[in-house]
Structure 1
Amino acid sequence: MKLSDFDFELPEQLIATRPAVPRSASRLLVATPDTLEDKAVTDLGDYLRAGDVLVLNDTKVIPARLFGHRARDGNLSKMEVTLLSPTVDGAWRALVKPLRKVRDGEVITFAAGLEAEVISRADGQATMVFNREGQAFDDALAEAGQMPLPPYIAAKRAADAQDKTDYQTVFAKTTGAVAAPTASLHFDEALLAKLAAKGVEFADVTLHVGAGTFLPVKVDDVKTHKMHAEWGNVSAEAAKIIATAKAEGRRVIPVGTTALRLIESAATGAGQIAPWQGETEIFIYPGYAFQIADALMTNFHLPKSTLMMLVSALMGQQRVCEIYDHAIAHEYRFFSYGDSSLLLP
């Protein structure tokens, strides 16, 4: 299984830089092993049954990109900081540009009275401690920070105020992600209400999506790739909803690869799941035996990415090639702000 097996040519114009309005107006490609149907996200309920459980990732994206300056010898130097993840002791791991010009112990000053002291540097990252914590930190970050748009959008335009709404799900509540669970961006309150009225159940889980989700795979033999770690939590309530559904033969359908990776991490056996919390490095590629997920709603992913490998594990490599060929030929919009698919293996 080679990296090139998961490659494809994508026309540049199909990379979405803004989401559809309203959210649920995005297109939805419904794929089974034998059929492909061009629909809209508003049609999702037509393919769900009463008793199906949609697993939603309730992580909340922080405006993790900060611009500030550090002072040395009376001179101000501009600095760019992108927060990556918190440490167990309350510090933050971050990308700092230019890192080579920063010393341990230096303080970087941002807007809204926010400051950060660099306490260490290693592996191209810095660890820093902020002068605010808790709600005071969240409030200052909301004022000073920008949404950390994916590289393929940031290369085309700068983040703006609209992204603080667009790059956040309507059910986001647990702060900690630096990238959005993008399949969830298609949901609005009207669609959630419509699905609930049909008898669809929801289980909320949390996986804080990290910047590692955009890291390229650099090995040709994909089985040797080491996955980045992300913190997640499956509550007792969510585990009970999912376990009950599996025991009763009802479908469990994660919304997004993040929700899928998390519930598979929490699986204790085929059809069995328990409350779980911690960091997951689960890597799903063809040959993986799914324990919990029966289907998946997901956006269209980057070539040669671990997410292409995940959907290939679910649907089969050849079938995914056919799905993506159809999506490109019919000009679906790709990546974070793009259209979506419902994969029913």
Structure 2
Amino acid sequence: MKNIAVLTSGGDSPGMNAAIRAVVRTSIYNGAKIYGIKRGFNGLIHGDVIEMNLSSVADIIHRGGTILRTARCEEFQTAEGLQKAVNIADVFDFDGIIVIGGDGSFRGARELSKKGIACIGVPGTIDNDLAYTDFTIGFDTAVNTVLDAINKIRDTTTSHERISIIEVMGRNSGDIALYSGLAGGAESIIVPEVEYTCDDVCKRLLQGKNRGKLHSIILLAEGVGKATKLAEEIHNKIGMEVRVTILGYLQRGGSPSAFDRILASRLGARAVEALLQGESGQAVGIRDNKIISEDFGKALEMKKTFNTDMYELAKILSI
């Protein structure tokens, strides 16, 4: 294993730079050359490749985003685009490629593996929606970003005695809403994994009002629907004033938390070690605080189990 490449693909997440740093320095420590592929699979198709050294990753562990940039690439999903990527990998004589990203990135890495290019996946996504690993890089930082927003919004919600709905990211996963909602003391947490009705939400609001509570925070995961629609429904049903805050891309930026920096460092180093040991078609992750690896096929097929115990605890503590 003489030549290793690394790329970041899909949505950026805090901690990607820490993972790149770990990949670069672990590769060099083990005597391999390391190359950075810019702009994900799009960069691989077009040969946007640079050789990296120790200085390439100096002072980046604390930075959000990705120094290699990222992009989505529809061309890579075609047979012709995939072959272009393989050709570029051959031109640069890559012995292995480390792909940092989410489920879409892992599918791309799996296809490269089928073409004979050794690939290892590192889970980088704020959504925490990959079932094979307990946590993905960027999730903890995103939760803390939402928590900070909850704390600030609660101040004005309390002052004006209003209801605030905060819409958070996560695609079809409710983990960001669940974790930040529990930590932030939200009165209601609405996630794709648990059925809800507007009547249920209104009932909790009225029960709170009847005991003298004049403000509430509702956390809504984007996979459920639009916060503006829910706000309108609540107002039409019970006449209470509702304000909406959509955090959007704010959740994907910022300096990664200590947890994400450590997780990214451990997973990035393990990805290099996996390649050096002749592994391919594997995704590294963390389970019960131990670094593990799982076949791409199994990792992508596993169904995410929602933490219903934590969800019920949040309901109990918000009465």
Q: Give TM-score, length-normalised by structure 2.
A: 0.30
Higher helix share: 2
Structure 1 or 2, whichever has the larger Rg, is 2
Higher strand share: 1
Q: Give TM-score, length-normalised by structure 1.
A: 0.28
